[in-house]
Amino acid sequence: MMLCIRLVLLHLLACLKPAISEGPFFRHDADPALVKYLQPNDISDGKYDNITMEEAEKIGLCARPCDGAKPMVCYYHFTLENYATIGPACGNCINGTMDDCFKKGCVTADGVERPILTINRRLPSPSIQVCRGDTIVVDVKNKIVDRVVTIHWHGVYQRHTPHSDGVPLLTQCPIIPETTYRYKFPAMPYGTFFYHSHIGFQKMDGLEGPLVIRRPKKADPNRDQYDTDYPSHTIIITDWLHGMTDAKFPGNTYANFGTRTESFLINGRSVFKSGNGTSNPVPYSKFKVNKGLRHRFRIIGGSCLACPMLFFVEKHRMNLITVDGTPVQPQMFDSITIFPGDRMDVVITANQSGGSFWIQVRTLCTPNVSAEAILEYSDGNGTKEQSTRPAFDAYPRGRSLNALDSSDCSDTNPNVCWNHVNSLTPATEKATVLKAVPDIRLVFAVDEYHFTRDSLFWNDEDEYHRWFQSSPNVIKTHVTNNISLGILPFPILSQDLPIPKEMECPKDRSVCGKSAEKGGKLCECVEIIKVGLNQVAEIIFIDWIGPTSTFLHPMHLHGTDIYIIEQGIIPVAEDHRAFVGKLQERLAREGPDLATKIRPQPCVKDTVTIPPNGYTVVRVHFNNPGIWIMHCHFIFHTETGMNTVFQVGDRKDFVQTPPEFPTCNNYLPPVDPNEFKNIDWDDEPTLQT
């Protein structure tokens, strides 16, 4: 009976959909050879939700149903520039003229005026939504007056196009102001992804947007779990400050210190409530649903700071069906804990009575910091703008997914870690990635290095290390295995040059310490870990900070998948080295049973979080040749060295560098003391008076 009702509703929606403007889409600075493939900026606004494949192909729209779809070229032209919230494009929005808040170019954010960075004057940046098998082409024009930029496509493996991975001075040269760089890659794999700047703190200041690669619904093993998969039901959540993020770096001593978020944005909107209870009249994001249908929502953790976010939908549970693009065995949750880089696809059934309901995101670190959006039933009456926004703690956490802040990840804990989430079908590479004995075993201990003022500022060698003051008088940087990754002056993927001598890591790693106060040296250097093509690694990530740690480190690996085997907390009284040793011994014993009994269907992600004073065990199949980075996705950790670089395979295995690919390096020509000996020093023009 319910199936019949849902089919009738879907038919009615197809009949009542709004008119679609005719293509092709246009902008004056698009490449004339590609303009017929140009995509619109407003995919997420709802107007294309019920478009048919035939209608989409007629206007050249890539955001379309994928069953039977022909491959398309999907061309985007991105203009990056300095911008402002509540700017001139917003007219009288800030004074209550709500229609002005939706004018072209108006960015409201949370109603607080501040400088930002934008792509095509939108926040979030334009949504890219395509079908698997399409070709994605993005021209990035950098018009930001004082910054270089690159764009990373988070979760896209770039198996055939590693030069489009977007890591500065690793896979490409930065894009300097007033130049354009073209990213071009096949739309694969399928899943929910996002893109963002990979330089400095630009991601948190506005340079990020959704990227969705769909496959035919008939090929989705969870296809019976949902009725709709609308482009407008993609949600990207960002933490937000009321000034440029680099004002927090390297950190103040007397005022405005720390890195706690001041607000959140849901699809670029929220309403900030100040300490005295006042707020500016700007709109919430709104997501429309049809009563009786099961709607697929794609949730993207676009945040940058260490504090996790808790996601709720008032009076609605969420059925998890996909993580980072991989279908999983469905599970119901009351709330979802989201870390930077996470993506979860959930199904929300519109089965409640009433007109609209709150969506809330709240911080798990700072009281009273939250953001709201609206889930609106199409046949409902009344809107949430007419009601009181929920209190910070209005909704109980209930059964929570990814609850690494509160769960020990044991089987008896009601909250769920990733080791309790199973892929829907056995891993396609199971015989390889879950084999009894991995080819290599690696341990990555993430940690802090603490400076003294003497070691950082008053040393006789005039060393200039990256540093960060997280709170007054706590001066540190961040390391993996006691290495703070240095930055090469050239992209080593395309420029096969030796690492400069002064940037090489010491052969004697015992000199690399944890703090200057205890005599340890900071090793800020370049290390490239070489692994053989198609080798399988067992990796233990461990929080080496110790029992006092409060950080959750979301580790993101470029270029391949992470198979999550186990997560847990280290007993407070246990020595970390002893714990790792015992863990490795147990993993070796359990290896023969890993694929059959212990973890036959592991959850597959590209970003996985290490619990505070905890560990995460994963398997990785290094089957994608090239140079790939792995890093903490807490932006202040990334920018102070918590990064690791892998070389997968030999140079002969790499994808060939594209013709005329940009190069860069230090410019240090030789100096001859006699170089200018023969010039006429008296021939210099003088100012006549």
pTM for this entry: 0.94
Q: What is the pLDDT of residue 688?
A: 58
Cα three-residue angle 247-112-366, rounded to 5 degrees: 65
Q: What is the pLDDT of residue 429?
A: 67
| DSSP H or E segment with residue 55 | helix 53-59
β-strand pairing of 370-377 with 356-363: antiparallel
Q: Give the separation between CA 549 and CA 536, rounded to whole angstroms.
A: 30
Token pair of 72, please?
């398309």
* CA-based nearest residue to 51, from 73, 37, 69: 69
Strands 356-363 and 309-313: antiparallel
- Predicted pLDDT at 391: 85
| Residues 132, 72 contacting (CB under 8 angstroms) | no
What residues have CB less than 8 Å from 614, skipping those under 6 apart? 404, 409, 542, 543, 567, 568, 569, 570
Taking the CA atoms of residue 286, residue 290, residue 295 and residue 299 in that order, the dihedral angle to the nearest 10 degrees is 0
- The pLDDT tens digits of the residues spanning 332-373 come to 999 999 999 999 999 999 999 888 999 999 998 888 899 999
Residue 385 has what pLDDT? 62
Q: Please answer whether residues 295 and 347 qualify as being in contact, where contact means their C-beta atoms are separated by less than 8 angstroms.
A: yes
CB-CB contact of 633 with 198 (8 Å):
no
Tokens at 171, concatenated: 């896979």
Report the pLDDT value the prediction gives residue 388, as an integer from 0 to 100: 81
pLDDT in tens, 504-544: 999 998 899 888 888 889 999 999 999 999 999 999 999 99
Beta strands in 334-401 (DSSP E): 335-338, 343-349, 356-363, 370-377, 400-401
β-pairing, 318-323 vs 326-333, is antiparallel
Tokens of 559: 């270029």
Q: All domains of the chain, ordered by start, with CATH?
A: 73-420 (2.60.40.420), 427-653 (2.60.40.420)
Which residues have C-beta within 8 Å of that of residue 358, sequence separation ≥ 6?
A: 312, 313, 314, 372, 373, 374, 375, 384, 389, 390, 394
Say how far apart CA 419 and CA 618 lie, in whole Å: 10
Which stretches of the chain drop beneath a pLDDT of 50? Answer: 5, 7-9, 11-16, 18-22
Residue type, 181: Y
